[in-house]
């Protein structure tokens, strides 16, 4: 009898003839998540088993696995021989000491001499005969004893299951470049795109010396927290302070943020194309701030040839905060450090600027030279 972690995958089972590809990527991601922990990972007909691990690290293993996108659920289980005596020995450990219960059996091995109902009845009867404090309730049991008869002469016995992260394995849906600020929204946006299988690479724009090193460290921490889900342990940064200075000196004050966003999109597009990313990802939500009106979003879109994915576009702030808390980024996001968008922030930013007005003001700047200078500040940080 061996203690194991039973992993079931989510949408992968819908992939038909392409399922093998998704399973291979899923396996790689599980191994990456468990890196540094002693274990063996085995796949068996729609299930994955983590075996031969240090039981003292069991909680950590479960925590890491449950964050992997593509995981539907996990259970702590016992791996035993598939004879009834072996199954019963494990079932006694899984069953409650009192109250109502139900035995549920899945029989992957169709050559097994008993069918699912017969196995459940046999094990349930033996549990009842040994413990007078137990009662069977097949409709609303307080506990379940689950039996999974595998094809290789082994069986899995387990109780409850914990829900996983769901979604698709990271790395099966292309690569996107995430504009990661120090705020609440962008980490959630990155999480949501990674959940759909996208490899999410973060890029941060900063305004040192107007923003301090604490602000940069905050974003590094956010990137590290996000990497638990995205499995990407690196961060790219670019300094845009000189761009903001030029905008502040030469352009209408109400367009400070709008013009900065256009520069960010141009620089992000150049970096994305250089690294092979197929889209940009932002944490923008329609109407949340002045630069996130339809006119503001259209202005940013106009300077990039890449698709811009905005997974939070229809969310309100409370919904975003709720998700940030759930994924563990909220407490870091609200640390009191400024990001670049708060530098030279106008008192009355333009809400619905016409594109012609934006382009007229932007013509006062040497756009290409400013972008080249910004690219010279590019940093690649391993987390």
- Same domain assignment for residues 112 and 216: no
- Stretch among 2-16, 191-205, 221-235, 340-354 having the lowest mean pLDDT: 340-354
Asked whether residue 170 is assigned to any structural domain, the reply reads no
50 and 29 in a common domain: yes
Q: Is residue 242 part of a domain?
A: yes
Residues 196 and 81 in one domain: no
Among residues 163, 189, 214, the one where a domain terminates is: 163
Residue 142 lies in a domain: yes
Q: Same domain for 114 and 187?
A: no
Point out the domain boundary residue: 163, 192, 211: 163
CATH number at residue 124: 3.30.2130.30
Do 108 and 62 share a domain, yes or no? yes
Asked if the structure places residue 236 within a domain, the reply is yes
Structural domain total, the chain: 2
* Residue 26 structural domain: 2-163
Beta-bridged to residue 21, according to DSSP, are none
Are residues 180 and 151 both part of a single domain? Answer: no
HSE (CB half, 13 Å, CA atoms) of 43?
13
Q: Kindly report the CATH number assigned to the domain that includes residue 196.
A: 3.40.50.620
> What are the pLDDT digits (tens) for 112-140?
999 999 999 999 999 999 999 999 999 99
Q: Is residue 150 domain-shared with residue 188, that is, in the same domain?
A: no
Q: Give the helix ranges, DSSP H, for 137-240.
A: 185-195, 213-230
Residue 225 in any domain: the answer is yes
Q: What is the pLDDT of residues 168-218, one digit of tens each?
A: 999 999 999 999 999 999 999 999 999 999 999 999 999 988 888 888 899
In a domain, 238, yes or no: yes
Q: Are residues 135 and 114 in the same domain?
A: yes
Residue from 377, 359, 156, 138 nearest 255 by CA = 359
Sorted by sequence, the CB contacts under 8 Å of residue 351 that are 6+ apart come out as: 290, 293, 295, 296
Classify residue 97 by burial, with Cβ atoms within 10 Å: 0-12, 13-18, 19+: exposed
CA nearest to 231, candidates 199, 204, 202, 203: 199
Question: Does residue 169 form part of some domain?
Answer: no
Rounded to whole angstroms, how far apart are CA atoms 330 and 326? 8
pTM for the predicted model, two decimal places: 0.92
pLDDT tens profile 329-374: 999 999 987 666 666 667 778 888 999 999 999 999 999 999 999 9
For residue 151, what pLDDT is reported?
Answer: 82
Is 9 in the same domain as 64?
A: yes
Are 147 and 180 found together in one domain? no
Same domain, 289 and 356: yes
Which pLDDT tens digit goes with each residue over 284-304?
999 998 889 999 999 999 999
């Amino acid at each position: 009898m061996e203690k194991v972690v039973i992993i079931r995958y989510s949408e992968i089972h819908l992939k038909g003839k392409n399922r093998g590809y998704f399973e291979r990527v899923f396996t790689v991601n599980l191994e990456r998540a468990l890196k540094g922990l002693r274990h063996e990972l085995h796949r068996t007909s729609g299930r994955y088993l983590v075996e031969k691990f240090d039981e003292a690290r069991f909680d950590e293993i479960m925590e890491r696995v449950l964050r992997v996108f593509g995981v539907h659920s996990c259970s702590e289980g016992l791996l035993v021989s598939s004879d009834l005596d072996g199954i019963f020995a494990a079932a006694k450990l899984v069953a409650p000491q009192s109250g109502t219960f139900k035995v549920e059996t899945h029989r992957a091995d169709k050559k097994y001499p008993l069918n699912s109902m017969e196995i459940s009845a046999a094990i349930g009867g033996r549990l009842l005969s040994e413990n007078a404090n137990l009662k069977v309730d097949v409709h609303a049991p307080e506990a379940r004893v689950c039996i999974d008869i595998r094809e290789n002469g082994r069986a899995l016995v387990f109780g409850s299951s914990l829900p996983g992260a769901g979604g698709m394995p990271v790395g099966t849906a292309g690569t996107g470049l995430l504009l990661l600020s120090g705020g609440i929204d962008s980490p959630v946006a990155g999480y949501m795109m990674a959940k759909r299988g996208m490899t999410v690479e973060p890029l941060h724009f900063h305004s040192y010396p107007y923003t301090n090193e604490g602000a940069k460290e905050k974003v590094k921490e956010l990137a590290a927290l996000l990497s638990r889900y995205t499995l990407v342990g690196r961060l790219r940064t670019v300094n845009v302070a000189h761009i903001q200075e030029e905008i502040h000196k030469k352009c209408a004050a109400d367009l400070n943020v709008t013009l900065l966003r256009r520069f960010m999109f141009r620089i992000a597009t150049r970096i994305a194309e250089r690294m092979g990313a197929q889209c940009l990802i932002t944490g923008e939500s329609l109407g949340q701030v002045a630069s996130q009106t339809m006119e503001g979003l259209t202005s940013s879109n106009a300077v990039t040839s890449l698709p811009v994915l905005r997974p939070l576009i229809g969310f309100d702030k409370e919904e975003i905060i709720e998700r940030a808390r759930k994924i563990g980024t909220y407490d870091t996001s609200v640390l009191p450090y400024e990001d670049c968008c708060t530098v030279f922030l106008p008192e009355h930013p333009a809400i619905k600027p016409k594109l012609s007005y934006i382009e007229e003001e932007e013509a006062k700047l040497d756009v290409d030279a400013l972008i080249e200078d910004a690219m010279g500040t590019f940093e690649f940080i391993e987390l």
